[in-house]
Chains A and B, each alone.
Chain A
Amino acid sequence: MFDTLRESGWLLLEGTMWTILLSLVTLLLGGVMGFLLALIRVYGVWPLRAVVDAYVYVVRGIPLLLLLFFMYYGLPYMGIDLPTLPGGIAVMSLYFTALMCEIWRGALQSLPRGQLEAARALGMRLPLALTIILVPQAVRAVAGPLVNMAVLIVKSTSLVSIIGLSELTMVGHEIIERTFKPFEILGAIAVIYFSICYGLSRLGKAIEEKVQYGNP
């Protein structure tokens, strides 16, 4: 069994690297766009808020795989020739932007109303209040849910293997096809995913504690 692993080790490493890369890009794009959408959602005017609401509602109500399938199977028939890698990144980002919007919204709305009122009473306008008072506090509130989201993203990257994008699961498939040793490979892949995700969730707990106010 270990011979198999040794031979495939490098491939698995490469696959893991792609998984991590894809996850990071999704986390970044989704995190930033989700934040901007959340600002609209919490402080924006009604028409814009409704648009963001609709977007989040739809994306949260359908499976990620459906969006991936639509990009992969549907777009070519519409005459759109989008290479799978940017397409996959776009779909992942689109999907997780909606989820991130919700956690940023939760973080912003969890701040006591008095914070914005105090800032206003001191003569601050919304942009300034956001920058130095609200967002710094929101970042602390979002840290825990953000790490949970990161775990979700890592797990979700496995789905892009279904449309042929190379990451850990895809690589696993290729190795299994060659070596006919599904269990060793799947087991190794499971261990790798577990390590990343479990590690992230421990990191998340540590961050949550560090983010509490006040020095004991």
Chain B
Amino acid sequence: MDISSVVELRFLPALMEGATITVELAAASGLLSLLFALPLALLSMSGKRMLSAPARAYIEITRNVPLLIIVYLAYFGLAVAGSSMSAFACGILALTLQNSSYIAEIYRGALQSVDSRQWEGGKALGMTAVQTFTIAILPQALLKSLPALFNQIVLLLKDTSVISVISVGELLMQSKTLSEKTASTYELFLMVGAIYLILTTLVTLTGRVLERYLSFSH
């Protein structure tokens, strides 16, 4: 049995295109989420009710509603608002809305796990709270959150498949289209599964390598 009977090479171009869009969706919403999640986390940890309450509400709401519903809401919302945003951008929006919450919680956990004596150390050295935070606390928290962050990226990659419902041509959408067009059997889905597996494995391995590298340099 030669490999071309299992790996149906004619599918590859379309699948690769889909995979590219999958990665683009994940990368864009991943970066945006990583950025937005930090102020979100800080707000949710604030002592002032007026700041923390809306942040916590946002986090709890987006965490406890299925991604599919968020996608639909974003899609219909943008349509009603007369926006000309593409389905692709809409997908990024929906993914970012939910992922920011997950990542904010990761940040919060990491920040809270940094030894509180670090704050005292900063004070003793005459640093302001902001200085202590940026120089001492934040780097440690970011380091601690790396494993959970990489795990979240894997989840994000898998979540991009849900965006197929608004006809964005990512990997899963391609597989559905191809299977209908070509009436093919398991080879197609096997290939798609393999591609997802490769992507998620790459992310996981990168995470482990990064962790090891960073923990040595300490």
Contact = CB atoms under 8 A, between A and B. Distances in A.
B162 A65 contact: yes
Contacts of B185: 74, 77-78
Interface string A156-200: 111101100000010000000000001100110110011001100
Nearest to B187: A74
A91 interface: no
B65 A197 contact: yes
Contacts of A187: 73
Nearest to B158: A63
A73 interface: yes
A157 B69 CA distance: 11
A158 B159 CA distance: 13
Contacts of B68: 158-159, 161-162, 169
Contacts of B193: 58, 62, 66, 70
A153 B201 CA distance: 23
Contacts of A77: 179, 183-185
B66 interface: yes
User: Could you tell me the dominant secondary structure of chain B's interface residues?
Assistant: helix
A69 interface: yes
Contacts of B192: 66
Nearest to B201: A61
Residue among A61, A169, A198, A201 having the largest count of chain B Cβ atoms under 10 Å:
A61
B172 interface: yes
A69 B189 contact: yes
Residue among B65, B175, B200 having the largest count of chain A Cβ atoms under 10 Å:
B65
A62 B64 contact: no
Given A73-B176, A151-B64, A194-B64, A61 B196 contact: yes
Contacts of B60: 194, 198
Interface in A58-99: 58, 60-66, 69-70, 73-74, 77-78
Nearest to A159: B68
Interface string A49-65: 00000000010111111
A193 B64 contact: yes
B175 A198 contact: no
Contact of B175 (A66, A162, A190): A66
Contact of A193 (B69, B162, B184): B69
A59 B160 CA distance: 16
A190 B197 contact: no
B61 to A, nearest CB: 6
B72 A66 contact: no
A65 B179 contact: no
A74 B161 CA distance: 17
Given A74-B189, A155-B65, A186-B73, A66 B162 contact: no
Contact of B158 (A62, A158, A161, A197): A62
Nearest to A182: B76
Nearest to A19: B66
Interface of B: 60-61, 63-69, 72-73, 76-77, 80, 154, 158-162, 164-165, 172, 175-176, 179-180, 183-186, 188-189, 192-193, 196-197, 200-201
30 contacts: A58-B193, A58-B197, A63-B172, A65-B162, A65-B172, A66-B172, A69-B175, A70-B189, A73-B179, A74-B179, A74-B189, A155-B67, A158-B66, A158-B68, A159-B68, A159-B162, A161-B68, A162-B165, A182-B72, A183-B77, A183-B80, A186-B69, A186-B72, A186-B76, A190-B65, A190-B73, A193-B64, A194-B60, A194-B61, A198-B64
Interface of A: 58, 60-66, 69-70, 73-74, 77-78, 151, 154-159, 161-162, 169, 182-183, 186-187, 189-190, 193-194, 197-198, 201
By Cβ-Cβ distance, the 9 closest A-B pairs, closest first, are A197-B64, A63-B161, A158-B66, A63-B158, A155-B66, A61-B200, A61-B197, A70-B189, A182-B76
